[in-house]
């Protein structure tokens, strides 16, 4: 596995792979790698791509400096995980390389309006501007590629797809299924911040999603049921929503068909998110 840290070397590596007739598979991460990330590396490898993974904890997508400082960092384990799961090139750019003027605000910001302002965006102002800006930079340095994202961050995928479409970027966005622990908890780097009792409470997120997947019913009933299950586990509910999977527009009760249920809850200061495809039916409770 090759390891790089500068934008110039990264750009040259990706360009040389394309010149040799290979497709670059980009897997952006913020480190603290787990089996969910490994599944992205393996998906890129199975598609025949040269796997280029990045690790960069992007300060521009954190609206709380305490959250940024607490974000888990496991560099030695990350290197081992990347190498064991097929990464050909691991890029770990420095903060100075990515945002030379930081902590001063960066003059250029990519903002995907509308779909960035709801759900996670409503609770974390500026978050998706930071995400879109850093992902746009990753794409600019990498060049034409496939980019792999996990569906746990479903809204992020919707934002990135819209940005790619609007800017006509030569990037194919590939979404990969959520990877869960045996008990159902969606894998997340933030899980490392949970105490054992908090982790047990966090299982309510996947339990709520399974409940509405099996019960169906109108969107309002699904929202109420998910919120009830989270509150019964003493989780501070940020949102429990059912939306159109492309536009993220909330579903109304006379609509029928497949939608996306998205949850966010805060447990002892740790924010967890989860989501699943659900089917809504009008007039059924």
Residues annotated as catalytic (active site), given as ranges: 37
Instruction: Give exposure, 52-68, as e/b (b: 16+ Cβ within 10 Å).
Output: bbbbbbbbbbbeeeebe
Q: What is the dihedral of CA 107, 110, 113, 117, to 10 degrees?
A: -80
Nearest to 30 by CA among 179, 188, 141, 185: 188
Residues 216, 171: Cα–Cα separation, whole Å: 36
CA atoms within 13 A on the CB side of 224: 8
Residues 127, 131: Cα–Cα separation, whole Å: 6
Distances in Å between the Cα of 108 and the Cα atoms of 85, 95, 129, 161 are: 35, 16, 10, 20
DSSP 8-state symbol, 252: P
54 in Cβ contact with 26 (< 8 Å): yes
13 in Cβ contact with 20 (< 8 Å): no
SS3 call for 77: helix
216 in Cβ contact with 279 (< 8 Å): yes
């Amino acid at each position: 596995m090759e390891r790089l840290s500068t934008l110039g070397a990264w750009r040259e590596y990706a360009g040389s792979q394309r010149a040799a007739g290979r497709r670059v598979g980009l897997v952006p991460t913020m480190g603290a790698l787990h089996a969910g990330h490994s599944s992205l590396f393996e998906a890129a490898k199975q598609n025949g791509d040269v796997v280029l993974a990045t690790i960069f904890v992007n300060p521009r997508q954190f609206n709380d400096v305490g959250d940024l400082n607490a974000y888990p960092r496991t560099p030695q384990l990350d290197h081992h995980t990347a190498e064991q799961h097929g990464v050909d090139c691991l890029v770990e750019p420095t903060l100075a390389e990515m945002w030379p003027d930081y902590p001063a605000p960066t003059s250029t910001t990519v903002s995907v309006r509308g779909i960035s302002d709801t759900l996670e965006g409503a609770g974390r102002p500026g978050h998706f501007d930071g995400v879109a800006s850093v992902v746009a930079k990753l794409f600019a340095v990498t060049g034409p590629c496939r980019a792999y994202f996990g569906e746990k961050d479903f809204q992020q995928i919707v934002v990135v797809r819209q940005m790619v479409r609007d800017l006509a970027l030569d990037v194919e966005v590939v979404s990969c299924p959520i990877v869960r622990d045996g008990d159902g908890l969606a894998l997340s780097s933030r899980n490392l911040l949970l105490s054992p009792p908090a982790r047990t409470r966090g299982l309510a997120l996947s339990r709520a999603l399974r409940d509405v997947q099996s019960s169906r019913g109108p969107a309002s009933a699904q929202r109420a049921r998910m919120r009830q299950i989270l509150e019964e586990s003493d989780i501070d509910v940020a949102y429990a929503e059912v939306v159109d999977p492309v536009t993220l527009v909330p579903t109304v009760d006379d609509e029928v068909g497949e939608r996306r249920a998205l949850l966010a809850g805060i447990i002892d200061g740790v924010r967890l998110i989860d989501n699943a495809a659900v089917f809504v039916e009008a007039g059924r409770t």
